[in-house]
Structure 1
Amino acid sequence: MVAVERQLQRSLGAWVGVSTVGGAAAIAVGRSRKDPLLRAFGLQTLLWAAADAGVLAASTRGNTPPAGRLRALLIANAAADVAYVGIGSALAARPDRVPQRLRGLGRQERRRTSDAAVRGHGLAVVVQGLALLVIDSTAAARLRPPRP
Protein backbone atom coordinates (compact mmCIF):
# COMPACT_ATOMS: atom_id res chain seq x y z
CA MET A 1 0.00 0.00 0.00
CA VAL A 2 2.75 2.48 0.95
CA ALA A 3 4.71 1.66 -2.22
CA VAL A 4 1.62 2.30 -4.36
CA GLU A 5 0.93 5.56 -2.57
CA ARG A 6 4.51 6.76 -3.07
CA GLN A 7 4.47 5.79 -6.75
CA LEU A 8 1.16 7.59 -7.17
CA GLN A 9 2.66 10.73 -5.59
CA ARG A 10 5.76 10.50 -7.79
CA SER A 11 3.68 10.04 -10.93
CA LEU A 12 1.39 12.92 -10.08
CA GLY A 13 4.36 15.11 -9.13
CA ALA A 14 6.05 14.38 -12.44
CA TRP A 15 2.82 15.18 -14.27
CA VAL A 16 2.53 18.49 -12.39
CA GLY A 17 6.05 19.34 -13.56
CA VAL A 18 5.37 18.39 -17.17
CA SER A 19 2.09 20.32 -17.15
CA THR A 20 3.70 23.41 -15.64
CA VAL A 21 6.60 23.51 -18.10
CA GLY A 22 4.43 22.52 -21.07
CA GLY A 23 1.70 24.99 -20.20
CA ALA A 24 4.13 27.87 -19.77
CA ALA A 25 5.85 26.98 -23.05
CA ALA A 26 2.53 26.79 -24.92
CA ILE A 27 1.53 30.21 -23.60
CA ALA A 28 4.88 31.72 -24.60
CA VAL A 29 4.78 30.25 -28.10
CA GLY A 30 1.10 31.13 -28.46
CA ARG A 31 1.79 34.75 -27.53
CA SER A 32 4.73 35.06 -29.91
CA ARG A 33 2.72 33.55 -32.77
CA LYS A 34 -0.53 35.27 -31.75
CA ASP A 35 -2.13 31.84 -31.67
CA PRO A 36 -5.23 31.70 -29.44
CA LEU A 37 -5.33 27.88 -29.56
CA LEU A 38 -1.83 27.53 -28.09
CA ARG A 39 -2.42 30.24 -25.49
CA ALA A 40 -5.65 28.59 -24.35
CA PHE A 41 -4.02 25.16 -24.33
CA GLY A 42 -1.22 26.53 -22.16
CA LEU A 43 -3.55 28.33 -19.77
CA GLN A 44 -5.77 25.29 -19.32
CA THR A 45 -2.70 23.12 -18.78
CA LEU A 46 -1.36 25.47 -16.09
CA LEU A 47 -4.74 25.48 -14.34
CA TRP A 48 -4.72 21.68 -14.25
CA ALA A 49 -1.15 21.72 -12.95
CA ALA A 50 -2.25 23.96 -10.06
CA ALA A 51 -5.21 21.71 -9.23
CA ASP A 52 -3.06 18.58 -9.41
CA ALA A 53 -0.44 20.24 -7.20
CA GLY A 54 -3.17 20.83 -4.63
CA VAL A 55 -4.19 17.18 -4.75
CA LEU A 56 -0.55 16.17 -4.41
CA ALA A 57 -0.03 18.47 -1.41
CA ALA A 58 -3.12 17.04 0.29
CA SER A 59 -1.89 13.50 -0.34
CA THR A 60 1.38 14.12 1.47
CA ARG A 61 -0.34 14.99 4.75
CA GLY A 62 -0.53 11.35 5.75
CA ASN A 63 -4.32 11.03 5.74
CA THR A 64 -4.36 8.21 3.23
CA PRO A 65 -7.47 6.06 3.41
CA PRO A 66 -7.17 2.29 3.74
CA ALA A 67 -6.26 0.44 0.54
CA GLY A 68 -9.85 -0.50 -0.28
CA ARG A 69 -11.09 3.07 0.03
CA LEU A 70 -8.10 4.44 -1.87
CA ARG A 71 -8.75 1.97 -4.69
CA ALA A 72 -12.43 2.99 -4.80
CA LEU A 73 -11.39 6.66 -4.91
CA LEU A 74 -8.94 5.98 -7.74
CA ILE A 75 -11.61 4.10 -9.70
CA ALA A 76 -14.00 7.03 -9.24
CA ASN A 77 -11.25 9.40 -10.38
CA ALA A 78 -10.64 7.22 -13.44
CA ALA A 79 -14.34 7.47 -14.32
CA ALA A 80 -14.10 11.25 -13.98
CA ASP A 81 -10.97 11.18 -16.17
CA VAL A 82 -12.97 9.44 -18.90
CA ALA A 83 -15.60 12.17 -18.60
CA TYR A 84 -12.90 14.84 -18.93
CA VAL A 85 -11.68 13.22 -22.13
CA GLY A 86 -15.24 13.18 -23.49
CA ILE A 87 -15.95 16.80 -22.58
CA GLY A 88 -12.58 17.97 -23.90
CA SER A 89 -13.13 16.05 -27.12
CA ALA A 90 -16.51 17.68 -27.60
CA LEU A 91 -15.05 21.14 -27.03
CA ALA A 92 -12.16 20.48 -29.40
CA ALA A 93 -14.33 18.96 -32.11
CA ARG A 94 -17.26 21.40 -31.97
CA PRO A 95 -16.24 24.71 -30.38
CA ASP A 96 -19.03 26.37 -32.38
CA ARG A 97 -21.53 24.57 -30.14
CA VAL A 98 -20.44 26.49 -27.02
CA PRO A 99 -23.08 29.18 -26.47
CA GLN A 100 -21.91 32.79 -26.75
CA ARG A 101 -23.18 33.57 -23.24
CA LEU A 102 -20.62 31.08 -21.88
CA ARG A 103 -17.76 32.69 -23.81
CA GLY A 104 -17.87 36.11 -22.17
CA LEU A 105 -15.05 37.27 -19.94
CA GLY A 106 -17.34 39.43 -17.83
CA ARG A 107 -20.43 41.55 -18.15
CA GLN A 108 -18.46 44.68 -19.04
CA GLU A 109 -16.10 42.87 -21.38
CA ARG A 110 -16.95 42.75 -25.08
CA ARG A 111 -14.32 40.15 -25.97
CA ARG A 112 -15.50 36.62 -26.49
CA THR A 113 -13.51 33.39 -26.43
CA SER A 114 -12.80 32.39 -30.02
CA ASP A 115 -13.46 28.96 -31.48
CA ALA A 116 -9.68 28.44 -31.66
CA ALA A 117 -9.32 29.17 -27.95
CA VAL A 118 -12.23 26.86 -27.06
CA ARG A 119 -10.55 24.16 -29.17
CA GLY A 120 -7.26 24.74 -27.30
CA HIS A 121 -8.97 24.44 -23.93
CA GLY A 122 -10.68 21.25 -25.10
CA LEU A 123 -7.45 19.69 -26.35
CA ALA A 124 -5.72 20.46 -23.03
CA VAL A 125 -8.58 18.81 -21.12
CA VAL A 126 -8.21 15.70 -23.31
CA VAL A 127 -4.47 15.52 -22.62
CA GLN A 128 -4.97 16.00 -18.88
CA GLY A 129 -7.80 13.47 -18.73
CA LEU A 130 -5.77 10.83 -20.56
CA ALA A 131 -2.69 11.33 -18.40
CA LEU A 132 -4.69 11.23 -15.18
CA LEU A 133 -6.57 8.16 -16.41
CA VAL A 134 -3.25 6.33 -16.81
CA ILE A 135 -2.02 7.49 -13.38
CA ASP A 136 -5.26 6.67 -11.55
CA SER A 137 -6.01 3.35 -13.23
CA THR A 138 -2.43 2.11 -12.85
CA ALA A 139 -2.47 2.83 -9.12
CA ALA A 140 -5.93 1.27 -8.72
CA ALA A 141 -4.78 -1.88 -10.51
CA ARG A 142 -1.79 -2.15 -8.17
CA LEU A 143 -4.18 -2.00 -5.19
CA ARG A 144 -6.34 -4.87 -6.48
CA PRO A 145 -6.82 -7.45 -3.75
CA PRO A 146 -5.21 -10.83 -4.45
CA ARG A 147 -7.50 -13.50 -5.88
CA PRO A 148 -8.33 -16.37 -3.55
Structure 2
Amino acid sequence: MAEGQNSNEHSVSVAMQDSGGPYDFHLSRHLLRLGERHDIALRRDLFRYYHSDAQSAIAAGHDTRAALLAFGCDATHGYERTHIDSLAALSRLLTAYILSPPVFASDAKPRETSLERFNKQLEHPVHMESCTHVPPVDEVLDSSNNSDKD
Protein backbone atom coordinates (compact mmCIF):
# COMPACT_ATOMS: atom_id res chain seq x y z
CA MET A 1 0.00 0.00 0.00
CA ALA A 2 1.10 3.55 -0.57
CA GLU A 3 2.73 5.37 2.30
CA GLY A 4 0.22 7.39 4.30
CA GLN A 5 -2.77 5.29 3.19
CA ASN A 6 -5.03 3.52 5.66
CA SER A 7 -5.78 0.74 3.15
CA ASN A 8 -4.45 -2.78 3.44
CA GLU A 9 -4.34 -5.79 1.16
CA HIS A 10 -6.91 -7.81 3.14
CA SER A 11 -9.83 -5.35 3.23
CA VAL A 12 -12.01 -3.14 1.07
CA SER A 13 -11.41 0.60 1.32
CA VAL A 14 -14.30 3.05 1.60
CA ALA A 15 -12.88 6.34 0.37
CA MET A 16 -14.26 9.28 2.29
CA GLN A 17 -12.84 11.77 -0.22
CA ASP A 18 -10.40 12.16 -3.07
CA SER A 19 -8.71 15.19 -4.65
CA GLY A 20 -12.13 16.34 -5.92
CA GLY A 21 -13.60 16.55 -2.44
CA PRO A 22 -15.71 14.40 -0.15
CA TYR A 23 -18.04 11.65 -1.30
CA ASP A 24 -21.69 11.52 -0.28
CA PHE A 25 -21.75 11.28 3.51
CA HIS A 26 -24.97 9.25 3.70
CA LEU A 27 -24.02 6.72 1.02
CA SER A 28 -20.51 6.25 2.44
CA ARG A 29 -21.93 5.79 5.94
CA HIS A 30 -24.46 3.27 4.56
CA LEU A 31 -21.60 1.26 3.03
CA LEU A 32 -19.62 1.36 6.28
CA ARG A 33 -22.64 0.15 8.25
CA LEU A 34 -23.27 -2.67 5.78
CA GLY A 35 -19.65 -3.75 6.18
CA GLU A 36 -19.91 -3.73 9.96
CA ARG A 37 -23.28 -5.53 9.96
CA HIS A 38 -22.00 -8.31 7.67
CA ASP A 39 -18.54 -8.60 9.27
CA ILE A 40 -16.71 -7.45 6.14
CA ALA A 41 -13.11 -6.29 6.54
CA LEU A 42 -13.06 -2.62 5.58
CA ARG A 43 -11.07 0.54 6.10
CA ARG A 44 -11.85 4.22 5.74
CA ASP A 45 -9.34 6.10 3.65
CA LEU A 46 -8.58 9.37 1.87
CA PHE A 47 -7.18 9.33 -1.65
CA ARG A 48 -5.54 12.74 -1.83
CA TYR A 49 -3.91 12.18 -5.24
CA TYR A 50 -6.77 10.35 -6.93
CA HIS A 51 -9.71 11.78 -8.88
CA SER A 52 -12.68 9.58 -9.74
CA ASP A 53 -15.10 9.70 -12.65
CA ALA A 54 -17.88 10.16 -10.10
CA GLN A 55 -16.34 13.42 -8.91
CA SER A 56 -16.10 14.58 -12.53
CA ALA A 57 -19.80 13.82 -13.06
CA ILE A 58 -20.74 15.78 -9.93
CA ALA A 59 -18.53 18.70 -10.99
CA ALA A 60 -20.32 18.65 -14.37
CA GLY A 61 -23.61 19.23 -12.56
CA HIS A 62 -25.13 15.74 -12.39
CA ASP A 63 -27.40 15.27 -9.39
CA THR A 64 -26.22 11.93 -8.04
CA ARG A 65 -24.89 10.29 -4.93
CA ALA A 66 -21.34 9.01 -5.19
CA ALA A 67 -19.17 6.79 -3.05
CA LEU A 68 -15.89 5.06 -3.81
CA LEU A 69 -14.95 1.50 -2.94
CA ALA A 70 -11.49 0.13 -3.66
CA PHE A 71 -9.63 -3.11 -3.15
CA GLY A 72 -6.27 -2.85 -1.43
CA CYS A 73 -3.60 -2.87 -4.10
CA ASP A 74 -0.05 -1.91 -4.80
CA ALA A 75 1.22 -0.15 -7.93
CA THR A 76 -1.98 0.89 -9.72
CA HIS A 77 -2.13 1.85 -13.40
CA GLY A 78 0.47 -0.57 -14.60
CA TYR A 79 1.29 -3.75 -12.80
CA GLU A 80 -1.33 -4.07 -10.09
CA ARG A 81 -0.94 -6.51 -7.22
CA THR A 82 -3.58 -7.37 -4.66
CA HIS A 83 -4.64 -10.12 -2.29
CA ILE A 84 -7.70 -12.29 -2.89
CA ASP A 85 -8.99 -11.27 0.57
CA SER A 86 -9.45 -7.69 -0.59
CA LEU A 87 -11.30 -8.74 -3.74
CA ALA A 88 -13.54 -11.04 -1.68
CA ALA A 89 -14.31 -8.23 0.79
CA LEU A 90 -15.13 -5.89 -2.09
CA SER A 91 -17.46 -8.42 -3.72
CA ARG A 92 -19.21 -9.11 -0.39
CA LEU A 93 -19.73 -5.39 0.26
CA LEU A 94 -21.04 -4.80 -3.27
CA THR A 95 -23.44 -7.73 -2.86
CA ALA A 96 -24.67 -6.37 0.48
CA TYR A 97 -25.18 -2.94 -1.12
CA ILE A 98 -27.05 -4.30 -4.14
CA LEU A 99 -29.39 -6.25 -1.87
CA SER A 100 -29.95 -3.35 0.55
CA PRO A 101 -32.71 -0.75 0.31
CA PRO A 102 -31.77 2.74 -0.95
CA VAL A 103 -30.15 5.15 1.49
CA PHE A 104 -33.27 7.33 1.31
CA ALA A 105 -36.71 6.10 0.23
CA SER A 106 -36.90 9.01 -2.22
CA ASP A 107 -33.86 7.60 -4.06
CA ALA A 108 -36.01 4.63 -5.13
CA LYS A 109 -38.47 6.87 -6.95
CA PRO A 110 -37.40 7.85 -10.47
CA ARG A 111 -37.70 11.49 -11.35
CA GLU A 112 -40.10 11.79 -14.22
CA THR A 113 -38.56 15.01 -15.44
CA SER A 114 -35.08 13.55 -15.74
CA LEU A 115 -36.27 10.62 -17.89
CA GLU A 116 -38.75 12.37 -20.19
CA ARG A 117 -36.37 12.85 -23.09
CA PHE A 118 -35.27 9.20 -23.02
CA ASN A 119 -38.70 7.68 -23.62
CA LYS A 120 -38.12 6.81 -27.29
CA GLN A 121 -35.35 6.01 -29.71
CA LEU A 122 -34.25 8.85 -31.99
CA GLU A 123 -35.09 8.40 -35.65
CA HIS A 124 -32.19 7.86 -38.06
CA PRO A 125 -32.23 11.35 -39.69
CA VAL A 126 -31.84 12.93 -36.25
CA HIS A 127 -28.53 11.15 -35.62
CA MET A 128 -25.44 13.09 -36.59
CA GLU A 129 -23.95 11.94 -39.84
CA SER A 130 -20.21 11.57 -40.06
CA CYS A 131 -18.63 13.65 -42.81
CA THR A 132 -15.28 11.90 -42.50
CA HIS A 133 -14.34 10.03 -45.67
CA VAL A 134 -12.54 6.77 -44.98
CA PRO A 135 -11.20 5.15 -48.15
CA PRO A 136 -11.50 1.39 -48.59
CA VAL A 137 -8.53 -0.61 -47.30
CA ASP A 138 -7.68 -1.90 -50.79
CA GLU A 139 -7.45 1.66 -52.07
CA VAL A 140 -5.07 2.65 -49.28
CA LEU A 141 -2.90 -0.43 -49.75
CA ASP A 142 -2.85 -0.08 -53.56
CA SER A 143 -1.77 3.57 -53.35
CA SER A 144 1.10 2.67 -51.02
CA ASN A 145 2.27 -0.01 -53.47
CA ASN A 146 2.11 2.48 -56.36
CA SER A 147 4.20 5.04 -54.48
CA ASP A 148 6.95 2.43 -54.00
CA LYS A 149 7.22 2.04 -57.79
CA ASP A 150 7.86 5.74 -58.47
Name the one with the larger strand percent. Answer: 2
Which is bigger in relative contact order (C-alpha 8 A, separation at least 6)? Answer: 1
Q: Same fold (TM over 0.5)?
A: no
Instruction: Kindly indicate which of the two structures has a greater share of residues assigned to helix.
Output: 1
Larger Rg: 2
Normalised-by-shorter TM-score class: under 0.3
